[in-house]
Amino acid sequence: MKTNTNNLIVTIFAAISSCSAFASQQSDTLQDMSDPMAVFSQFGVGYGDKGINLMLGHAYDPGIENRKAMHIFEMKGIGGESIGWRSDNNNSVSELRYRHFEVSLETGTGTNLDLNYNIDSGIGTGTYGLIQALPEIRNFQAYPMLAIGGAVVDLNKNNARIETEKGAIGGHHLLGFYGLAGMYSRYNVTDNIWLNYNPMSLMGASGELSGETRFMHEAAISYQITSRANIRYFANWSDKVNYADGDHRIMYTYQI
């Protein structure tokens, strides 16, 4: 089977590089929404180049002392053909995403499971990673992370059915595994405005991803409207996709 690896990596990049929240604090009181390690129940709605995005997060006690966790569900690309600005949009949901975080309140070490499926391309990714909060220096704090993941593709949707002795076959096919290394970071400009920059390096390890590399960027600027609500602008690009052609979106989030 032969696939367009460059487009594949772009899709994987979009699936795994969005800014994630982890858990390091109690969720029974209002949390600092600028902290990438804060966990809280929340809902959000956003608009971007692919249409409308919806998000719902549920924080819970996993039953282990000094640990907190949360689930986040997302639907992306709703109404993209009508209100987005990419030429390949349609009005159906384009992506589904599920994330699960669990973090030790004592050590500041978190685990993250991230599952994403692009309905349009038929490409799915699964990533499991570790993140560690480092001490804050003035107004800056870094959160280095390491992860491993894999990708599958629906051959029928990609017109890449495999030819065998018994004829062409479709269905889902394992593309390979990859490693991911990078960090999340936060800089507090004021009490209500903060910046994030999250560089990531993706390294293909096996299958059709073997030998592939991609250096990815995510940047965000955020404003805390009230103690429960903020609005954020995100941009994602890479060494192969320039800033203007990357993903852009605005997200409103409310802490429940």
What would the pLDDT profile of 171-222 be if each residue is shown by its tens digit?
778 889 999 999 999 999 999 999 999 999 999 999 888 999 999 999 999 9
Write out pLDDT tens, residues 47-67: 988 889 999 999 999 999 989
Write out pLDDT tens, residues 214-239: 999 999 999 999 999 999 999 999 99
Amino acid 9: pLDDT: 62
Amino acid 239: pLDDT: 93
Residue 214 to residue 224: CA distance in whole angstroms: 32
Residue with tokens 């639907």: 75
Amino acid 1: pLDDT: 47
Residue 64 to residue 104: CA distance in whole angstroms: 9
Q: Supply 237's token pair.
A: 């690009």
Domains of the chain are: 40-255 (2.40.160.40)
Write out pLDDT tens, residues 79-118: 877 776 776 777 778 899 999 999 898 999 999 999 999 8
Residue 53 to residue 154: CA distance in whole angstroms: 23
User: Stretch 142-156: mean pLDDT, rounded?
Assistant: 92
Global pTM value: 0.86
Q: How far is CA 84 from CA 130, 192, 247, in A?
A: 34, 29, 11
Q: What one-character-per-residue DSSP string does 153-205 give?
A: EETTTTT-PEEETTEEE-SEEEEEEEEEEEEEEEEESSSSEEEEE--EEEEE-
Amino acid 52: pLDDT: 92
Q: Supply 14's token pair.
A: 């979009």
Sign, CA dihedral 36-39-40-44, equals positive
Report the percent of the chain where pLDDT is more than 90. Answer: 59
Beta pairing class for 193-197 and 213-224? antiparallel
Per-residue pLDDT at 7 exceeds 90:
no
Helix (H, G, I), strand (E, B) or coil at 216: strand
Cβ contact 147:158 at 8 Å? no
